[in-house]
């Protein structure tokens, strides 16, 4: 997990996307041009919430989000997404 010196405001979270699948279940390798955007990531920073909405996610949670959700940013040559908590579809419990 990366250490990010970034504090999102209100109900926003910073997510580090996980790597896209490079191989199918049957063992076929997927070329870079055919890979889909990852829709799974780990939360690295969480805002404080709003008076109307408390934060239900926390740092370290692995979450699913929409394919085109959030805004992509680069910090120290690493890609992160900033999005609202409401853009998160589910928390993956392990």
Residue 45 · residue 8 · CB < 8 Å: yes
Look up the CATH number of domain 12-19+34-92: 2.30.33.40
pLDDT number for residue 2: 58
Over the chain, what is the mean pLDDT?
A: 88
pLDDT number for residue 8: 94
- Residue ranges, the chain, pLDDT below 70: 1-3, 21, 32, 34-36
Alpha-carbon gap, residue 56 to 38, rounded angstroms: 22
| Residue-wise pLDDT tens digits, 2-29 | 567 889 999 999 999 998 767 777 888 7
């Amino acid at each position: 997990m990366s250490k990010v010196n970034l504090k999102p405001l209100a109900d926003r979270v910073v997510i580090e996307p996980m790597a896209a699948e490079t191989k199918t279940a049957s063992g076929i390798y997927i070329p870079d041009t055919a890979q889909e955007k990852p829709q799974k990531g780990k939360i690295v920073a969480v805002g404080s919430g709003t008076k109307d909405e408390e934060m239900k996610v926390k740092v370290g949670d692995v979450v699913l989000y929409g394919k085109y959700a959030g805004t992509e940013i680069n910090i120290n040559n690493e890609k992160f997404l900033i999005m609202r908590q409401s853009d998160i579809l589910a928390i993956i419990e392990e």
